Amino acid sequence: MADHREGWAQTGIRRPENGDGSTSGIFTAGIFSYGIAKARETQTNLDWFMGGGSLPFWVAGLSMFATNV
């Protein structure tokens, strides 16, 4: 019977290490924390839609174009 671990070596995919889950969890928690902190700065719907007026028109245009592509 073939060892189920042989597939990892044949495909070149690295086996998950012990620290991978905690690193991903810390990174995800950091992203969520940053998002929550920035969301608290948003006061109106216009702030949310227009980025508080801080984005140049061309950045907003590129973002809208990329969303539609």
Over residues 3-16, the pLDDT tens digits come to 555 555 566 667 66
Statement: residue 65 has pLDDT above 70 = yes
d(CA 59, CA 35): 19
Residue pair 15/8 in contact by the 8 Å Cβ criterion? yes
Q: How confident is the model at residue 27 (pLDDT cuts 50, 70, 90)?
A: very high
Task: Find the length of the chain.
Answer: 69
d(CA 25, CA 7): 27
> What's this model's pTM, rounded to 2 decimal places?
0.47
Rounded CA Rg of the chain: 21
Note the pLDDT of residue 29.
Answer: 95
Note the pLDDT of residue 40.
Answer: 86
